[in-house]
Structure 1
């Protein structure tokens, strides 16, 4: 029937078939065929949301063709120019979208909390022996987005890599993320969703990898000239393979100290994978607090300095310099604001307003004076004749 209404040339049908095959070929991508449980749950949300929306889109598209054919004006059609209302039709039109919106809202609310990247995982897989996530068996990886490469630090193993991330299977991974220079986005499609990295701030992501293999990761936020090549390789190996890889990395002979990091931090493009067998244990904190360069105070030192209101910035003891209990201001005193001072206390100077003259016009000193009611200067046409003559 549709072919008779809308005749489609053979060439057009061939193009549509090729487009459909191209779309179906994308179903094998890492987004729709993930290797981690978090990414798998996010993929299911995509499928469910798409299915719910198609419950409206598909019937509407079908009904457009059906109504155009059935209610056409002409032979065989059911043309009724006086039709204006149908209670059953109105009920369907309004109730179906409303129910779908409620379902999408509930799905969004629940998934937002269950898949919060800061929230530790409750499970490592959809089922099987590895369904429960041990709270103590968590691998920590510190991620630093640079210009234009990725730095991964394994603090427990004491190693670091550039543009290469190796994870053991069925083990929860906690990523602590920051950036050196500008805002960026960490994205491993087969592992989890996109997480932003920002200088001086830390983001987190809890995820797990369930399938062995080699996958890709990238920067999903434009950050300059080398953005398009800011990619890394993700390897999923079993626990024995991860331990063997970590042992091999420690024997690489390369060390990532502050001097080496300062050279690594310089902008560079298409950087091949690098493995460091040793890493400064305080490097990530210094990157996060933006004090890698010698002599630069860390953010924690600056905040402690502010709390002490002029104390030694090297003293970062918890609570140092804080006001005494029951006092909202430091006991050594703070200058009183100019708004709280009288004109005589402010003194004189080029940037200080001169105090008002006590002999000035009454309107500036006595708001309730009768002279303030004389509006002749503003509205001359309302002034008495004598005033107009005087003004003339």
Structure 2
């Protein structure tokens, strides 16, 4: 596309194009010829004899060239409008819009047929705006169908929140992997809600299955899932019944395929299936220990209600370790740490000191990622308090 890049730079600049209105049909023919050549090249790349590495390199080169041209055309179009050239020569603005649409179609073809080859580069501005329009229409459809299927309100908000944020923040420029994930998520939700005739009683279960398979690894969704499991366990008075319920959840999660690849809501985070499975196994270990001790009735009489917290035990241990390392807490013996964690998370349920010490000194990647999320939220909240305090001082 080197020759065509020179054509875009030299011939399609607003100052030149406005003076060459009579050449627009010729330029359209030249663009269409280049588009046909690219499509034929993509058809060749899809052949079975092309190695994956060779196909990936070719697709990423084409992706970079098209993205660069779209950014250039967007600047040209904005320049025309700022100089009121579009009012004097509307054909010029229409030509830029038509050319952008041609390259949008090429990028769409890359998304649909070579998604595994695309580089995690930023999406061109005009292509992102087009994607926002399409996803906005799909979002409205999903909201209607989720209401018809009587989906849980919190689950519905969590599932659609990434799409809403993408549509709302027009100043942000996502990468191609993020856009691919949002398109796939909305498409699968549409198939589930519209094409499949689900009874309302099973809607939430199938949405959960879809989100787990799509690696919807948002911290808010993890907290929602663990909260629902806790609510289900509280329905049973006997520990044996709670273990049976917990074992059912573990079997269901283990059956979920752990999606591999680049597409995830948070590509740098842990798999949501792995996080839930680890948490469920920890809960089962605790319940089995209590079931063996046979002291459930005594604990129910004398144990106060646990503190309401969104933290897990490993996350609380890691945060306490940070307080010690930074000198905010000078000393923290293992016995005192164990009593604190028992009071916060396992009232009346004894914790082994070796287990507490292991949780304190060795933190998993999912625990570190979750703590970074909570600390970022605390930093934002402190900024709000600072702004309020400065306002009151002024």
Bigger radius of gyration among the two: 1
Higher relative contact order, chain-length normalized (CA < 8 Å, sep 6+): 1
TM range (shorter): under 0.3
Identify the structure with the greater helix proportion: 2
